[in-house]
Amino acid sequence: MGREIERKFLVKNDTWRMAADRKQQVIQGYLANNERCSVRVRLSGDSGYLNIKSMKIGVSRAEYEYTIPAAEAREILHTLCAPGLIEKTRHYVARGPHVWEIDVFEGVNQGLVVAEIELSAEDEIFEHPAWLGEEVTDDSRYYNVCLAQAPYNTW
């Protein structure tokens, strides 16, 4: 079974930008969403992905991800996904053995900046950079599937 162990935080300021070594435009939409799982299509740069993720709230969740042709991802996003596409720029910041993914949201979620770190164990120790804010791992409002339905700017 695929498993994602991830923690999610708000970002306090822009000082992380000095350490970002690359970025990528991301557009994603949802084909299905129920109490057990979400099914997502993502276009990340020139790559397409189909992702199935459990709706369990917390650090560790079941996740399966498959590469699909970018042209098909684009077509699915615009013809089959539910309204409420997520648009963001993902920045990558290396800190020690980890890479932080910092998502700067656009459109109806503009103003939201979230940092995520993938870990190999739920209790893994990691560096907390000074720009890291409140942890929101257990707050489902910050899950992309929820932001697609209830955008940040409507809270």
Instruction: Indicate if 92 belongs to the active site.
Output: no
Contact 93, 16 (CB under 8 A): yes
30, 49, 142, 152: which one is catalytic?
Answer: 30
The 3-class SS string of the chain reads CCEEEEEEEEECCCHHHHHEEEEEEEEEEEEEECCCEEEEEEEECCEEEEEEEECCCCCEEEEEEEEECHHHHHHHHHHCCCCCCEEEEEEEEEECCEEEEEEEECHHHCCCEEEEEECCCCCCCCCCCCCEEEECCCCHHHCHHHHHHCCHHHC
d(CA 125, CA 104): 25
The catalytic site residues sit at: 30
